[in-house]
Structure 1
Amino acid sequence: MGNALKVGFISLGCAKNLVDTESMIGLVLGEGLEVTNRRDEADVLVVNTCGFIEAAKKESIEAILEAARAKETGRCRALVVAGCLVSRYKEELLDEIPEIDAVIGTADYPRIVEVVRRVWEGQRVEAVSDPDAIADWNFDRVLTTPSHTAYLKIAEGCNCACSFCSIPLMRGHYRSRPVESVLEEAWRLAGLGVKELIVVSQDTSYYGLDRYRRLMLPELLRRLAEIPGLRWIRVHYLYPTRVTDELIDVLATEPKVVRYLDVPLQHGSPRVLRLMNRPADPEAYLRLLARVRERVPGVTLRSTFITGHPGETEEDFEQLLDFLRRAEIDHVGVFAYSQEEDTPSGRMSDQVPPEVREERRRRAMTVQRAIALRLRRQRVGSVEEVLVERPLGGQPGWYVGRTQGQSPDVDGVVRLHAPDAGLRPGDFVAAEITGVRGYDLVARLAPEAPTPGTTSRALREGRAPAPMV
């Protein structure tokens, strides 16, 4: 077969799926094959799919069909489909899209080289094990993110049993990686030049409970912070009842762990939260946010919410809007409920019409947009540490960067004016926030370095300077 064989990868869905794709790329390269990012150059195409909600499933099917067309019109001779969609719909995919030559389940991606070799030889392959089959992984990944940022997946699966969620069907029960394995991978990533490590799993706050019989995330974060070279350690996806005082203390005291809390809360109505099989006490959520703000000055809060869950009434939705106003969360994603088969919510009889789900999503985002704009305006005048991402195309002297309060791809960016500074991706600079443009901040270089949690007088006093546009 030789080095001439080229494999192309198409990765869809969340950051956790991206880690799997990066691991597959590393495995393929490690066996002497080539990887290309050009579809028309690939001999074998691998589509790593997402099957979380209906929109993601449609996107995955479209990507598979587009890859299938490459078999007819281009160099591609084999199509491999991997990931979450396979775990749920293996038979349907193979029956309805005969161009697929192989399917790989979420626990089987370490077999990617074997599968590629077999399809190249003309075989049709089904490599789909029980999702719980994979318990640990630690491969030489090839990063597809900017070289200064990487995701670190510390666990697989989920035990939360939210009634609307299909993740356990595709990814299995929660399995924490051993601490030693996680640290070994983190050291390796730091050695590659990674400065921002984003710690993820489906429920990151659960880490360790299954393997060590105690919540281990705070200890893991402190040990990650000991690794030279890492500058920012960010955590995503924390279950509200597992945001412990110990975890809050880590956010407050460990300089490398950024002051950023991502807690998906999902709703503001106790009745709907019970239907979701979630903790049904919005007042406790508000107390949690207040406690975090008190103990972690300058913290940025992120959350997600769902509109139109089965049984949601207009009164329930108004409770959600009231919750958003009271919570004043910096970054919020609102999603219209997606009815997923084989989930308890999907089988409920009182489904909300899709147009009502979407209309409520728009109303919630209108309320949240005003809150977020006011909070961003309050940052004007503060001096913050900014990670430089890249030059801002077409605007000499301007760069795209992020503060500690902005996670990649979800929270907006900083538009940084730094003429003649010669900044490079991965640089950290002190920047004064001078304005707001949509969901982004506008800034210029500042002479002094920021201290985590410091704010300007305007921010401390709660004033909202007019934005620069």
Structure 2
Amino acid sequence: MSYNVSFISLGCAKNQVNCEQMMALCAEAGYSIQAQPEGCDVVVVNTCGFLASACEEAIENILEMAELKKAGQVKKILVTGCMTQRYKEDIFHELPEVDGLLGTGSYGDIATAIAEVMEKGEKPCHLGNIHTANQSGERILSTPPWYAYLRIAEGCDNHCAYCVIPSLRGKYRSRPMNELLDEAAELASAGVKELIVIAQDITRYGTDLNGEHQLAKLLKELCKLDFHWIRLHYLYPTDTTDELIDVIASEPKIVKYLDIPIQHCNDTILKAMNRRDTKADLLALLKKLREKVPGLVLRTSLIAGLPYEDDAAFEELCDFLREVRIERAGVFPFSPEDGTKAALMEHVDMEEAQRRAELAVDVQSDIIDAYNDSILGEEREVLCEGYDSQAQMFYGRSYAESPDIDGRIWFTADSEITPGSFVNVRLTGTMDGETTGELV
């Protein structure tokens, strides 16, 4: 039987890759993929379950689909992903509108689950082994045609005290290099110009296969393929080796933009959170990166209100930001997540954590504004992503902006520019934390 299936993917890019694999499995089974949920047989909500706020967003999406189901516009609702893995017992109980579940170890069962729910009237619940689930497989890309993600590993072995990822995604498993190079070659031949290398921690790549860090070797091979840009997401400070830094510095295709989540800088907090670095380590690494990689733009994630963060430790974090001047930072209030060690430790209340996060964002805003002012007059290579008729401007990204995370560059041009093409833009101004310019 052929069914119309629609997908909603929430959360991170790693989750998006799972969704792309599920779409390919459905197409292979003869099902039709449709963009809008209205009028489809099955809607699949692929959830994030990393934080309580992500679970709330997932529940809102499920309830929206339940309304469509009630109105007869959707027949069945399947829920997949991290929230399913985390709260499997509760979902059927709390959300009776849901017709079936797939955990993070069972993405490969999507076509079977659709048949079970449509043909047999069953309520499938597939919860495979999260430590051994297959990571490879065909994908139907859901990104614009000019960029795509390459997920090089699954799971995480870092076990930070505040994080549930290891319990949702399993132990760290690198994908074989030959498999990754084949997949990357296919993406390049499909016209992908920007390859974004992702994993929960890309710096650990290969260490579970033979004990050696192999990211540098993988990147050298990827640079031989026909990509214009290669972007790296989530480098763990401790595993950022000198060999890796040299490859990043010397390979022109690797964009000089690194996402290194540090979470905090206070030594007591870092130790309590089971991070393997100290403030001195972080300062030394950032200094080395700045020296070796000219023009480097750094992004990080920070958590305000972590256990052991008193006023002095928070002030230390703000001073650290002012000193190291990381160009891009996502600041989040501490969320005590069920099942984590940090949730059992003493910490400030949510309101105070939120207040501190907002103060850190203010510090960061000044840094971003100063950075934007410092690059005015420069020419930047920009990947054009579209035209906004309201603003009457084109928009795109340079090496310094990652998709869906950072801002855009807005620019004027006399002629039509095709989305997905690279152009040179002279930066002339700023607007709400983003830069503006004109085609050179």
2:235/2:259 contact within 8 Å kept: yes
Displacement, 1:204?
0.8
Q: Deviations over 1:146-200 (max 9, x none)?
A: 1101111111000001000000010011000010111111111112111001010
- 2:238·2:277 contact (CA, 8 Å) conserved in 1? no
1:418 counterpart residue number: 413
Give the CA deviation at 1:429.
1.1
SS of residue matched to 1:194: coil
Which consecutive residues of structure 1, in runs of 5 or more, have no partner in the other structure? 447-469
2:128 is the alignment partner of 1:129:
yes
Which whole-Å CA distance do the structure 1 matches of 2:390 and 2:430 have between them?
A: 20
Residue pair 2:237, 2:277 contacting (<8 A) in 1 also: no
The answer to whether residue 404 in structure 2 is matched with residue 409 in structure 1 is yes
Please, which of 344, 351, 361 is the counterpart of residue 347 of structure 2? Answer: 351
Distance 2:171 2:332 in 1: 24
Matched, 1:173 2:171: yes
Unpaired segments of 5 or more residues in structure 2?
none
Distance apart, 1:428 and its partner CA: 0.6
Aligned AA for 1:432? R
Quick one: distance in 1 between partners of 2:284 and 2:66?
51
Secondary structure of 1:334 counterpart: strand
Structure 2 equivalent of residue 18 of structure 1: 16
Query: 1:37 corresponds to which residue?
Result: 35
| Aligned ranges 1:6-405 → 2 under 5 Å | 6-121=4-119, 122-139=121-138, 141-228=139-226, 230-348=227-345, 350-396=346-392, 398-405=393-400
State the SS of the aligned residue for 2:131.
Answer: helix
Match of 2:308, SS state, is coil
Letter in structure 1 aligned against 2:177: V
- If the length of structure 1 is used for normalisation, what is the TM-score? 0.92
Q: Secondary structure at the match of 1:7?
A: strand
Partners of 2:304 and 2:333 within 8 A in 1: yes
Letter in 2 for 1:385: E
The SS at the match of 1:111 is: helix
Which secondary structure does the structure 2 equivalent of 1:43 belong to?
A: strand
Conservation of the 8 A alpha-carbon contact between 1:9 and 1:37: yes
Shift of 1:99: 1.7
1:87 and 1:131 in contact (8 A); partners too: no
Distance 2:74 2:405 in 1: 34
Shift of 1:247: 1.1
Contact 1:136–1:178 (8 Å) recurs in 2: no
Contact kept, 8 Å, 2:193 with 2:229, in 1: the verdict is: yes
Q: What is the letter of the counterpart of residue 101 of structure 1?
A: D
CA distance in 2, matches of 1:19, 1:386: 25
Conservation of the 8 A alpha-carbon contact between 1:155 and 1:177: yes
Q: For each residue in 1:47-101, what CA deviation from the matched residue of structure 2 results, as whole angstroms up to 9, or x when unmatched?
A: 0000001110100111112212222112322111000011111111012212211
SS at structure 2 position matched to 1:226: coil
Aligned-partner SS, 1:39: coil
| Conserved? CA contact 1:260–1:300, under 8 Å | yes
1:135 is displaced (CA, Å) by: 4.3
**TM-score of the aligned structures, taking structure 2 as reference length:** 0.98
* Deviation (angstroms), 1:392: 2.1
Identity percentage of aligned residues: 42
> Structure 2 CA distance, aligned partners of 1:15 and 1:237?
11
- Give the letter for the 1:227 counterpart: L
Deviation at 1:107, TM superposition (A): 1.6
* Native 8 Å contact 1:135 1:175 kept in 2: no
Task: Report the counterpart of residue 459 of structure 1 in structure 2.
Answer: none
* 2:118 alignment partner AA: W
Aligned residue pair count:
439
For residues 211 and 433 of structure 2, what CA distance do their matches in structure 1 show?
A: 41
Alpha-carbon deviation of 1:280?
A: 4.3
- Stretches of 4+ aligned residues off by more than 6 angstroms: none
Which amino acid is 1:185 matched to?
E
Counterpart Cα distance in 1 of 2:192 and 2:220: 17
CA RMSD of aligned residues (A): 1.1
- Partners of 2:6 and 2:145 lie apart in 1 by 20
Supply the distance in 2 between the matched residues of 1:74 and 1:150 (Cα, whole angstroms). Answer: 35
